[in-house]
């Protein structure tokens, strides 16, 4: 019975979506970390009121004594590493990014532009340009991300003082896929590290 419960918990964790919710509107940028259906605010952070301390007088802080190297003494720059050891790590990182990007899901992509202009001719030109820009942007995003739902809109407002934008996206990846990528590329990175260490030890011995 316990094994079945543990297996059920593992299966639930494997399909648990993790990610971020990003939104930009008149209030500025807002970012939340998503764990399933729960959103945890990251930016802006909710302000906490600090309790006022009573009955204590301010005390002077003693200046900290500087230890170690002097701030004025120049630090010795380290020499670069071997290019032949660095290139396999770059290749591994690029492969990770290539695999990672197609596993990301955008559950809801929202982008709304409200164009402002006094001249109807200028507004018509800007309206066409805005739709053309969105038409070029969407295929590029779809090459990197899997977009499940999208809502793109361009509107005109003769009374607005400036062009306004509302944007939002929920970007997620399942916990199981994240662990799989970490395991696969973690093992490959460890092999590269051991290979580089072996070369260095061999070079030091000769």
pLDDT in tens, 73-127: 555 655 555 656 666 777 777 777 677 776 788 888 998 888 887 888 888 898 9
Residue 115 buriedness (CB in 10 A; 0-12 / 13-18 / 19+): buried
Residue 71 maps to a domain? no
Residue 61 maps to a domain? no
Q: Which pLDDT score is estimated for 201?
A: 74
Q: Per the structure, how many domains does the chain have? A: 1
Residue 9 maps to a domain? no
Residue 27: domain span: 16-44+84-205
Least confident of 76-85, 95-104, 144-153, 159-168: 76-85
Residue 6 maps to a domain? no
Residue 194 maps to a domain? yes
Residue 22 maps to a domain? yes
| C-alpha closest to that of 142 among 104, 190, 188, 192 | 104
pTM for this structure? 0.60
Token digits of residue 151: 């809502």
Residue 108 maps to a domain? yes
Residue 143 maps to a domain? yes
């Amino acid at each position: 019975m316990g094994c079945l419960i543990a297996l059920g918990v593992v299966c639930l964790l494997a399909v648990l979506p993790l990610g971020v919710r990003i939104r930009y509107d008149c209030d500025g940028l807002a970012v939340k970390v998503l764990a399933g259906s729960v959103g945890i605010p990251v930016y802006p952070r909710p302000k906490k009121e600090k309790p006022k301390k009573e009955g204590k007088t301010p005390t002077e802080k003693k200046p900290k004594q500087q230890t170690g190297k002097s701030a004025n003494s120049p630090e010795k720059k380290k020499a670069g590493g071997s290019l032949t050891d660095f290139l396999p790590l770059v290749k591994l990182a690029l492969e990770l990014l290539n695999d990672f990007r197609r596993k990301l899901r955008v559950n809801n992509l929202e982008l709304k532009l409200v164009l402002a202009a006094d001249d109807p001719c200028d507004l018509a030109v800007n309206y066409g340009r805005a739709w053309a820009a969105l038409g070029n942007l969407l295929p590029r995003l779809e090459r990197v991300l899997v977009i499940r739902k999208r809502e793109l809109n361009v509107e005109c407002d003769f009374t607005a003082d400036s062009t306004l934008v509302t944007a939002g996206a929920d970007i997620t990846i399942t916990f199981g896929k994240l662990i799989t990528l970490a395991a696969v590329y973690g093992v490959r990175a460890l092999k590269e590290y051991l290979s580089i260490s072996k070369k260095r030890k061999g070079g030091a011995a000769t």
